[in-house]
Amino acid sequence: MKPKVAFFDFTSCEGCQLDSLNIDPGDLLDLLAVVEIVNFREVKTIREDNYDIAFIEGSISREAEITRVKKIREQAKILIALGACACIGGINCLKNHYSMDEALKIVYGDDAKYYDTIPASPVNAVVPVDYYVRGCPPQPQELLKVVKALLLGKNPDIPNFPVCVECKMAGNICVFERGETCMGPVTRAGCNAICVTAGRHCWGCRGLIDEPNIDSEKDILKKYGLTPKQIIEKFGIYNRYSEVTK
């Protein structure tokens, strides 16, 4: 029997699910040979509630989502957080800076009374998470790597070193050299520094490495002209839920 896989979206743009479909077609066919996808709203209309592996996309930002994710956790043998919103709270946590009434008013205006919200959190703030597929959106190859590892009963080999390592290996000139700033020194690698290679800088979407040197990063950002407020904002784009932005 093939393991049954389900995808669920919570507070998100659903870009992670969409990008999951960008796995190389050959790899996707190989994957479908060993798992059965039984629930994936963006792909199929028929859905089953009998699944072994659940992918959760999005952060938790409503009371109803707490109930829903707990129910999914009860059913799933393995639960995987898919993408920055699910893994670290992501950009949804930017609203945690405001009171919830204020956030509702900003977004829905006079219709705010029809909606409810709570401070956004990553999935692991509500239920235990077994695996993480990081990024906004994740690299399809990393999704594949995690699924392969769990099917083999192994831990996926996800880097615990900074984006700078991959950035240097890619031959990029550091953006600090041209007076810009970057979150690469404290952000978990695994994306091959794709944003720097594309001419931008790292925003930190893969979350912090274990034991990041926060003070050193803050010092560098300060040296390159950011105010204390701007430094906190820089850390907080994706990591607002983390203690380092409080």
Contact 202, 172 (CB under 8 A): no
DSSP secondary structure of 191-219: STTHHHHTTS----TT-BPSS--HHHHHH
**Distance in Å from the first CA to the final CA of the chain:** 47
| Maximum pairwise Cα distance, the chain | 58
CB-nearer residue toward ligand SF4: 83 or 212: 83
CB-nearer residue toward ligand SF4: 29 or 170: 170
Please give the DSSP secondary-structure letter assigned to residue 222. H
Minimum separation from the CB atom of position 3 to ligand SF4 (A)? 23
The tokens for 219 are 């010092």
Minimum separation from the CB atom of position 50 to ligand SF4 (A)? 25
CB-nearer residue toward ligand SF4: 48 or 94: 94
Minimum separation from the CB atom of position 199 to ligand SF4 (A)? 11
Q: Which residues bind ligand SF4 (CB under 6 A)?
A: 12-13, 15-16, 57-58, 83-85, 90-91, 135-137, 163-164, 167-168, 172, 174-176, 182, 184-185, 187, 191, 193-196, 201-206
3-state secondary structure 54-117: EEEECEECCHHHHHHHHHHHHHCCEEEEECHHHHHCHHHHHHHHCCHHHHHHHHHHHHHHHCCC
Minimum separation from the CB atom of position 90 to ligand SF4 (A)? 5
CB-nearer residue toward ligand SF4: 119 or 185: 185
CB-nearer residue toward ligand SF4: 31 or 193: 193
Minimum separation from the CB atom of position 194 to ligand SF4 (A)? 5
| Pairing status of strand 131-133 against strand 53-57 | unpaired
